[in-house]
Chain A
Amino acid sequence: MTLRELIVMGLMLTGAFFMFLAGIGILRMPDLFLRMSATTKVATLGVGTILLAVTLYFNDLVTTFHAVATILFIFISAPVGAHMIGRAAYFTGVPLWKGTLVNDLSGHYDPQTHQLESVSIPGLEAHMPDLRVCKVRISETSPAAGKTLAQIELRKTYGFTVLAVNRGSLVISNPDGDVRLFADDDLILIGPPELRDDLAALFGSTGEDVGEG
Chain B
Amino acid sequence: MIEALWIVILVLLSLGLVSVFIRLARGPYLPDRVIALDLISVIAMGFIVVYAVRFNQPAFLDVAIILAIISFLGTVAFAYYLEKRI
- A residues contacting B by CB (< 8 A) are 1, 5, 8-9, 12-13, 15-17, 19-24, 26-27, 32, 35-36, 38-39, 43-44, 46-47, 50-51, 53-54, 57-58, 60, 62-63, 66-67, 69-70, 73-74, 77-78, 80-82, 84-89, 91-92, 94, 114
Residues on the B chain within 8 Å of A92, using CB: 29-31, 82-83, 85-86
Where chain B touches its partner, the secondary structure class is: helix
**Contact of B39 (CB < 8 Å), options: A16, A17, A39, A74:** A39
Number of inter-chain CB pairs below 8 Å:
166
Task: Please give me the residue from chain A that is nearest to B24 by CB atom.
Answer: A26
Given contacts A50-B50, A91-B86, contact A70 B58 (CB under 8 A): no
| Residue of B16, B17, B42 most packed against chain A (CB within 10 A) | B16
- Report the 6 A-B pairs with minimum CB-CB distance, sorted nearest first: A23-B16, A84-B79, A23-B19, A89-B31, A81-B75, A16-B12
Given contacts A26-B23, A43-B42, contact A81 B31 (CB under 8 A): no
23 A-B residue contacts at CB 8 Å? A12-B9, A16-B9, A16-B50, A19-B13, A19-B46, A23-B18, A23-B43, A26-B36, A46-B42, A51-B49, A54-B52, A57-B53, A63-B58, A66-B65, A70-B65, A70-B68, A73-B65, A78-B72, A85-B34, A88-B78, A88-B83, A91-B86, A94-B32
Assembly CA distance A1 to B1 (angstroms): 9
Where chain A touches its partner, the secondary structure class is: helix
Task: Please give me the residue from chain B that is nearest to A57 by CB atom.
Answer: B53
Are A50 and B46 in contact (CB-based, < 8 A)? yes
Question: What's the minimum C-beta distance from A97 to chain B, rounded to whole angstroms?
Answer: 13
Are B16 and A20 in contact (CB-based, < 8 A)? yes
Interface digits, B52-66 against A, CB 8 Å rule (1 contact, 0 not)? Answer: 110000100110110
Are B75 and A85 in contact (CB-based, < 8 A)? yes
Assembly CA distance A74 to B65 (angstroms): 9
Given contacts A9-B2, A32-B29, A53-B53, contact A69 B65 (CB under 8 A): yes
